[in-house]
Amino acid sequence: MAKLGPRALDLYVLTSAHLSPRRGHEEIAAAAIEGGASAVQLRAPELDDDALIGLASSIAGRARSKGVLLVVNDRAEVAAASGADGVHVGQGDDPEGVRRRLPEPMVLGVSVGDVEEARAAEAVGADYVAVTVWATATKPEAVPVGIDGLREVVVGAALPVVGIGGIDAGNAGDVLGAGAAGIAVIGAVAAAPDPIAAVKELRAVVDAFREER
């Protein structure tokens, strides 16, 4: 199983074509890398496998040169074929089966809603888990657990926990203060007037929090 560096997940940017019709996934990913993200997830359900392989392959070299983790949402085979570093899946995507199909040393992330799901993800070989903190229009089916719920998962699970959902520069410190290994954002970057500046602002918040600790 891949080993994540201590800050590999601290600023995790997801791409979204829905939130940025004037920008493509590659532009958002490039902004994330330039702005100082530690991880980028390509979340592109609208693309077929061939198109997503091409997109991920195009971004992989740039991400690797900057030490940025590149993850593909849901599709393990696409991640493996494109040179990405890993895949992120949900509860309905058979994390155990994905782990078996994922070549070493690729990373597996799993979305969870509570401590039990986090421990189950760890048992099947996940490298990190993600928890929805606040409601988000980008994933309306996810049930937000709030800061207290996030803290429960952090305390009860051995894996790094990333907070996602409704996070921006104004509340990122609350998520990190609850013990999360990092913050994951979609709209705060994809919908920003200047995505590079948005990532830099988030980077400054994360770095300031780490320095205070």
pLDDT digits (tens, 9 = 90+) for 29-79: 999 999 999 999 999 999 999 999 999 999 999 999 999 999 999 999 999
Is residue 29 assigned to a domain?
yes
Domain count for the chain? 1
Q: The whole model's pTM is what?
A: 0.96
Q: Quick check: 3 pLDDT over 70? A: no
**Centroid of chain to Cα 72:** 9
- Report the CATH number at residue 168: 3.20.20.70
173-196 per-position pLDDT tens digit: 999 999 999 999 999 999 999 999
Is residue 6 assigned to a domain?
no
What pLDDT was estimated at residue 162?
98
Is residue 114 assigned to a domain?
yes
What pLDDT was estimated at residue 1?
36
Is residue 133 assigned to a domain?
yes
Determine contact, residues 85/70, Cβ cutoff 8 Å: yes
The angle, 0 to 180 degrees and rounded to 10, between the axes of the packed helices 25-35 and 195-212 is 40
By the 10 Å C-beta count (0-12 exposed, 13-18 middle, 19+ buried), 181 is classed as: buried
What pLDDT was estimated at residue 61?
93
Percent with pLDDT over 70 in the chain: 98
The structure tokens listed for 94 are 């058979």
| Domain of 203, in residue numbers | 11-212
Mean pLDDT for all residues in the chain: 94
What pLDDT was estimated at residue 206?
98
Is residue 2 assigned to a domain?
no
Is residue 159 assigned to a domain?
yes
What pLDDT was estimated at residue 138?
80
Terminal-residue alpha carbon distance, the chain: 29
What pLDDT was estimated at residue 38?
98
Is residue 77 assigned to a domain?
yes
| Omega within 30 of 0 (cis) for the link into 195 | no
What pLDDT was estimated at residue 18?
78
Is residue 4 assigned to a domain?
no
84-123 per-position pLDDT tens digit: 999 999 999 999 999 999 998 999 999 999 999 999 999 9
Q: Identify which has the larger pLDDT, 175 or 137.
A: 175
Mean pLDDT of 129-143: 90
